[in-house]
C-alpha cells in the first residue's frame, strides 16, 4: 500500500505540474517501500539524490511558468522552493554523515512537505495559471 496516494484533491489543474507531482509521490513511495522491506538504508541515499534532482527540475519548470505568466506571488513561491530544497539537502547531508536513518519521522516529513507545498503554494499557482488559459 502506498505511503502517499495521488488523488484529485492534490491536482492543481495544470497537467505539467500534476504529472511532476505524481513523480515526486512515486519517489517518496519508493523510499517508503524500501523502509518497509527493511532496505531503507540501501536506497535512502539514492532516493534522496533523485528527490533533490527531480524537485529542482520541477521547481525550475514552475518558476518558468511563473515568469512567463507574470505570477504576482513568484518571489514568495521561489523562496519556498529554496527552503524546501535546502531541507531535503540537509537530510541528504545527515545521511551522508551517518547521522540519519530512515524512520517514519523522515517519511512523515517528506509526505507533509509535499502535501503542504501542493495544497498551499502550488494550488494558488494553479489557480492563477488557469486564469491565463494554462491547464
Note whether residue 67 is domain-resident.
Answer: yes
Residue 86 grid coordinates:
535546502
- Cβ contacts of 109 within 8 Å, gap of 6 or more: 87, 91
The model's pTM is: 0.85
pLDDT digits (tens, 9 = 90+) for 83-110: 888 888 887 788 778 776 667 777 888 8
Question: Cα(40)–Cα(52) distance, rounded to whole angstroms?
Answer: 17
Note whether residue 6 is domain-resident.
Answer: no
pLDDT digits (tens, 9 = 90+) for 27-59: 889 888 887 887 766 777 787 788 888 888 999
Mean pLDDT of the chain: 87
| CATH number of the CATH domain containing 36 | 1.20.120.50
The C-alpha angle with vertex 78 and arms to 73 and 82, in degrees rounded to 5, equals 155
Note whether residue 80 is domain-resident.
Answer: yes
Domain count, the chain: 1
Which residue, 44, 41, 5, 46, is CA-closest to 26?
Answer: 5
Note whether residue 25 is domain-resident.
Answer: yes
Question: Cα(30)–Cα(43) distance, rounded to whole angstroms?
Answer: 9
Amino acid at each position: 500500500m502506498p505511503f502517499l496516494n495521488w488523488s484529485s484533491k492534490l491536482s492543481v489543474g495544470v497537467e505539467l505540474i500534476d504529472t511532476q507531482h505524481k513523480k515526486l509521490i512515486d519517489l517518496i513511495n519508493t523510499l517508503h517501500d524500501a523502509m518497509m522491506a527493511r532496505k531503507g538504508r540501501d536506497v535512502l541515499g539514492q532516493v534522496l539524490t533523485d528527490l533533490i534532482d527531480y524537485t529542482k527540475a520541477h521547481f525550475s519548470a514552475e518558476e518558468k511558468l511563473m515568469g512567463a505568466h507574470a505570477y504576482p506571488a513568484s518571489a514568495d513561491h521561489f523562496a519556498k522552493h529554496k527552503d524546501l530544497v535546502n531541507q531535503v539537502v540537509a537530510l541528504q547531508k545527515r545521511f551522508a554523515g551517518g547521522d540519519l536513518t530512515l524512520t517514519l519521522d523522515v517519511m512523515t516529513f517528506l509526505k507533509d512537505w509535499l502535501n503542504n507545498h501542493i495544497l498551499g503554494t502550488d494550488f494558488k499557482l494553479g489557480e492563477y495559471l488557469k486564469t491565463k488559459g494554462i491547464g
